Structure 1
Amino acid sequence: MGEQWLAGGPAADGSGLIVVDLGDVRVGPGSRARSATEGSATVTVVGDCPVEETELHRVLVAVRAGRWEDLTGWPGSYWVMAANERERFVCGDLAGLRPVYYTADGTWASHLRLLKKRLVPELALAAARVVAGSDHWPGRSPYEGINLVPGGHGLLLRIGQVPKLVDVTAIQPAEDLQSGAAQFGAALTQAVQYRVRAAGATVGADLSGGLDSSAAVVLASQVGQVHAVTYTDAYTSAEDASFAARIAEHTDIEHTIAHGTDEDLPFSFPTGQPTGLEPALSAALFEMDRTYLAPVAGLPLHLTGHGGDVVLDATSSVWVRLLQDGKRRAAHRQIVAYARMRNAAPGPFWHGLKDTAALGRTGVLEKAVEQLEKNRLQNAPGVGGWSWCRLGTAASWLTPNGRAQVAMLLRQAAADTSPPERADEFDQWAALRFTGASARGWAPYADALGIRPVYPYLDNTVVRAAFAVPPEARRGLYTFKPMLSAALPDLPDWLLGRRSKGSFTPQRVMAFQQHRSQLGDLLAVSPLITSGLFNHDAVADTLAQLGQGRTPIGSADMHQLLTVSWWLIGAGTCSSTGTSC
């Protein structure tokens, strides 16, 4: 996805238009830039999209009328630029995989370097995202003075006016799961198969053995040749490899299983490892990726199941939504059933979700602010389940100054009235943007490994079809990802019947033990610690406990802190004080 670059700005040419020079657009293999112009109306699509010029001419009516969401409904993954006599519109995709960055003067770009602005990481924001998640600041880039157009929005520019965000989500609710699933199945099938056909050669694919990658491989194998790759080692579930092998046999594709060693464990950060201009959790997995992706390097594209969890499933936020809507009995019934199936006591889970619903998004954030300011971090709201904001282990690492800085940012987020107040809507968009950012952040690693990844589950058409189905219907209480079986009923029953899901947590825990010394050295010079935001002793104590294998608690927070710290230091984006780039 990283081959196309484009930039523009508020050109003061007297025409009222924001001029985009297509000479600045570089188009990579398999991608095209297509345009249509009639009079003062123009539209350009850049990226992986099968739209033809005849269709572009048809949407010029929408361009003249300013119906910008009409320009985002094609298959694929792409940017759109359009202009009429009054304004210029620029947009990426709903997930944020195709980013648009911009500054207060209306200069914008799809790549941070094209802004030609000094990149100064905002350390307090980086700390806040480690502590409280990235959900609360979707419109901020990692750098001071540079904004990010959030997924689901476009950027509207007019001469002499500040840039404006416009909503392009355009979700049309489905009548029920069955009708919505049919639309989703058609969208996903098209998203996978048009790319495989266009490649005209063998394509690569991840095949973890889970439902998402397996479904993509099945669809791809129906129209082309596939070489799938699976990673396994001493810590992965044997069930994952078994399902992957069974899918490969079922589809009669080429399949390579890579057997990793302890040298491939996370957090090795080898010399020469590439990086990007944004932190990415996947930076910790570079050796693992290099091992299992080597057999498919250089193929025209590589299919992944990344994003399947977001569009096919939902979290316990759906039960918070039921409580918000006054459906207390239905919420209680489902929560009790869920807990009992897992041999867990439903009481704490129920009370946690009930408290979260009562507080609402603003109330939960204000509660988190109070906990930080008073240093009372032991009773995070919504402990029993999903919450808008959960202060975990990383909050205990903050210095007094760090707590004040993070509290200030959370207070600003609480005052923002734009995010959805309904729990399930907020959660699905936050999860989608996080997933898109993760895929975006992997781009430099993909380039280094000779991989051209595609993410069919993140296409606008697929996302819209999925989000048209209410999250509660996608949340299977007795079945796992019920929309997939409804959308693709021809998938084998033994695959759709799978209830387990693999995890790389064991590798992460073992990696803390293997790399404990070098990770300690990394943290000692982390800008987030040397700037006084995190307490070194508190972080070192957690790392020591993880390194001794005593507990996995805090491992996810430590993963985030380590990758952000490595990015700040190893990528050379800033000095240890965070003041120069």
Structure 2
Amino acid sequence: MRWSTGWYGSRGHDRLPWGGSSVPGLEAAWTINWPAGQVRSAGSDTLAVAVVGECGADDQQLQQGLAAVRAQHWRALTRWPGSYLTVARSGDVLAVIGDLAGQHPVYWRTEVAGTWWSTSASALAALDGAPVDSTALAAHLALAQPDVLGQWSLFRSVSRVPNGHLLLITPEGARTVRYEPTEYEPVDLHDAGPMVRAALTEAVGTRCDGRPVSADLAGLDSTTLACLAAQRGPVAAVTFADARLRGDDLAYAVRTAATVPNLAHHTVLGSPDTVYYAGLEDPSALPLTDAPNAYIATTSIKRSVLETVAGHHTAGVHLTGTAGDAVLSAPSTYLADLLRERQHRRAWQHAQAHARLRHNSAWSLLRRARPAARTDLAGAWRQAATELRRPARPWVPQAQRPMAWTPLLATADWMSCDLRSQLASALDVAAELAVAPARLTSWTDRQDLARLGADTNGWREIALAEHGIEIAAPFLDNTVIRACLPVPADQRGAPTRYKPLLDEAFAQADVLPPFVLTRVTKGGFNALAYAGLRQHAPILRDLLGSSSRLAAAGLITETPVATMLHRAATGQPTAQGALHLAVAAEVWLRQLETAPARWEVTAHVGTA
């Protein structure tokens, strides 16, 4: 697993990370399993900056960044293209800055002599064997929004830096400081188009640095990245195709590859084994991730794609359209914001259009939106806490429940009464501390991105460990997020146009064939999810049954989970998302039991 870590203290430390490499210019900072070309720095000692990851800044720009470090203008160090961690030192002040999408998370723990920081919570927990925090894991399972409990990590004694914050360490101690606004100043869709095109072009260009390039070629988002990369050189474009999928991804991919120079298309044919939940018989055989990871469920599908890529080149970079939906469009929950802002006519017009697409009622959509329009984030958390103290709810599909700032998922109803009560108390405390945007969509956009970023890290571990391929998700870059999210959600998610922001960005750019931009369809994997639930029901029953680590902690109870697995195995409507979360968490807990050592004990060395 790749990670970074460092020490800041008045006295020396007695641990070193196994296999760690010192970060040039920074005392007591190390990277583990990062290639040397992705660890760069400028300055040294008390004025230094280092970036770890895919950073588009050249050496001169890094050197110029020292002026921002000296002035402690930390946000300026997050504006380069790419996805990376920044570590900066100005005198006796150390700033550790992750990205906006959680691909480079930051954690810390304080000891008497100083502070350890790291991009791996599990590594910091391994310093003294700190256990998993059951309440934090309950929040992960029941709420699926990383920032709900703020600085709580999944491990006791380990703190996390919330989204949009940085870690600032001084002789007085460690604290988090917000560097990103909770909401952006609105930018009109038409005005944002050129900025989105420039950000995506630069993000893709940062990865096209001489390595072999491959890319998914499926939906509109991945096709955009593949076509941008093809402007710079050859691209091995891959499309996963399975007869059980009802979609036109393959037809569009073949047509696109025939139209766009430099795209060499390869079809990845599905098989009986390329379904959800395949390969979970032995969790210890899967690459270790720092947190429960959604891609565990789709490992067999991802592996089939990566094997095809590896057959054409090795040690390359693979572009994925992950998070394109999150930044280019918006879910219909923005209707709650329109109602809150008393834009009733616009809310009604949009509800009618959404209802036509879903063969639903506009009135039912607005009824679902009203509760979220009448409260704020803190109020929503108090309501959720009240709900958790009541008996568990009968299951109904999430799409039929009222819209919410932080929806309670079906997994909340599978927990023991004690865990539900603990989570309720934590939500009450969080509500007292909440600093939230005025709009529901501003909150949920950031949470969706943080969740997607963490999950993409899991896919990256699989690709690196098994094939030496680097996964790149340009839609998760800071620069792309900042170009897209200022566009109001009711413009990004307008139901009368499919991904209008992408259309504004590329309609006149001669990058995408016109038939791609006019596409209004999107593939889905539901058939493979249900096939996997049926095919691997015995394995899932074993994972979540009597020997389950989640059950031992009270995070699930046997009867409702068994009922849901039975529904899934018989093809009935199922809480797929909840099962997904539970399986990923169970696999992760079992992996932790056999995780390799992270630290070696040494003599006291180094000071801040």
Matches within 5 A, 1:412-451: 412-450=429-467, 451=469
1:488 aligns with 2:506: yes
- For the residue of structure 1 that corresponds to 2:166, the secondary structure is strand
- Find the counterpart in structure 2 of residue 273 from structure 1: 286
d(CA) in 1 for partners of 2:399, 2:523? 26
User: Is the partner of 2:273 in helix, strand or coil?
Assistant: helix
The answer to whether the aligner puts 1:283 opposite 2:286 as a matched pair is no
- Which residue number corresponds to residue 123 of structure 1? 134
Residues 60, 274 of structure 1: alpha-carbon distance in 2 compared, 3 angstrom cutoff: closer
Q: How does 1:346-495 map to 2 (within 5 A)?
A: 346-375=362-391, 377=393, 383=400, 386-450=403-467, 451-489=469-507, 490=510, 491-495=512-516
Aligned to 2:352: 336
- Describe the shift of the 1:353–1:170 C-alpha distance in structure 2 as closer, same or farther (beyond 3 A): closer
Structure 2's unaligned 5+ residue stretches are: 13-24, 596-608
How far residue 215 of structure 1 moved from its aligned partner, in angstroms, is 0.2
CA distance in 1, matches of 2:575, 2:59: 52
| Count of residue pairs brought into register by the alignment | 564
Q: CA deviation at 1:333?
A: 2.3
Offset, 1:394: 2.3
In the alignment, does 2:55 pair up with 1:49? yes
- Secondary structure, aligned partner of 2:85: strand
Contact 2:109/2:117 (CA < 8 Å) preserved in 1? yes
Pick closer, same or farther for the CA change 1:532–1:54 going to 2, 3 Å. closer
Q: Which amino acid counterpart does residue 180 of structure 2 have in structure 1?
A: V
For residues 72-128 of structure 1, the C-alpha deviation after alignment (integer angstroms, 9 at most, x for no partner) is 111111111112224111111111101211114431012345533424212232233
Tell me the alpha carbon deviations over residues 514-544 of structure 1, each in whole angstroms, 9 at most, x when there is no partner: 1111211111121221223322122111111
Q: Give, in whole Å, the separation in 2 of the partners of 1:113 and 1:537.
A: 31
Whole-angstrom distance in 1 between the partners of 2:184 and 2:407:
31
1:542 corresponding residue in structure 2:
564
User: TM-score with structure 2 length normalisation?
Assistant: 0.87
Aligned residues: CA RMSD: 2.5
For structure 1, which runs of at least 5 residues remain unmatched after alignment? 575-581
Aligned residue type for 2:156 = E
Native 8 Å contact 2:338 2:346 kept in 1: yes
Residue identity in the other structure for 2:407: R
**Kept in 2: contact 1:401–1:533 (CA 8 A):** no
Q: Identity of counterpart residues, as a percentage?
A: 29
SS in 2 for 1:43: strand
Partner of 1:34: 41
The match for 1:318 among 324, 334, 348 is 334
Q: Secondary structure at the match of 2:368?
A: helix
2-structure distance, mates of 1:59, 1:443? 29
What is the Cα deviation at residue 484 of structure 1?
0.4
- The 3 A distance-change label for structure 1 pair 400 and 24 is closer
> Secondary structure of the equivalent of 1:262?
coil
Distance 1:438 1:177 in 2: 29
Contact 2:107–2:158 (CA under 8 A) maintained in structure 1: yes
Give 1:210's aligned residue: 219
Q: TM-score, normalization: structure 1?
A: 0.91
Change (3 A) 1:308 1:12: same
Determine helix, strand or coil for the equivalent of 2:35.
Answer: coil
Matched position secondary structure for 1:553: coil
Q: Retained in 1: the 8 A contact 2:100–2:163?
A: yes
Q: Report the equivalent of 1:567.
A: 588
2:243 to 207, 210, 234: 234
Deviation readout 1:362-406 (Å, 9 max, x if unpaired) = 222222221221226359999566321222432332222232122
In 2, Cα distance between the equivalents of 1:7 and 1:336? 54
Q: Which has the higher contact order (CA 8 A, sep 6+)?
A: 2
1:132 corresponds in structure 2 to 143
Instruction: Give the aligned residue type for 2:471.
Output: P
Q: In 1, distance between residues paired with 2:395 and 2:592?
A: 36
Higher share in strand? 2
Q: Which amino acid aligns with 2:212?
A: T
In structure 2, what residue type is equivalent to 1:292? V
1:521 to 1:363, Cα distance in 2 relative to 1, 3 A:
same
Q: Deviations over 1:187-229 (max 9, x none)?
A: 1011112321x1x24311122x211100000000011111111
Q: Matched residues in 1 for 2:60 and 2:205: separation?
A: 22
1:94 alignment counterpart: 100
The 1:421/1:84 distance shift into structure 2, 3 A limit, reads same
**Does the 8 Å contact 1:234/1:261 carry over to 2?**
no
In structure 2, give the amino acid aligned to 1:388.
Answer: W
Sort the Cα spacing of 1:501 and 1:48 in 2 relative to 1 into closer, same or farther, 3 A: same
Pair 1:257–1:358, CA change in 2 (3 A): same
SS at match of 2:297: helix
Report Cα offsets for 1:242-268 as digits up to 9, x if no partner: 122222222242221111212121112
Which residue does the alignment assign to 2:201? 189
Specify the alignment match of 1:514 in structure 2: 535
Q: Is the 8 A contact 1:104 1:163 kept in 2?
A: no
Conserved? CA contact 2:281–2:539, under 8 Å: no
- 8 Å CA contact 1:474, 1:482 repeated in 2: yes
The residue aligned with 1:148 is 160
Query: Do the aligned residues in 2 keep the contact of 1:509 with 1:546 (CA within 8 Å)?
Result: yes
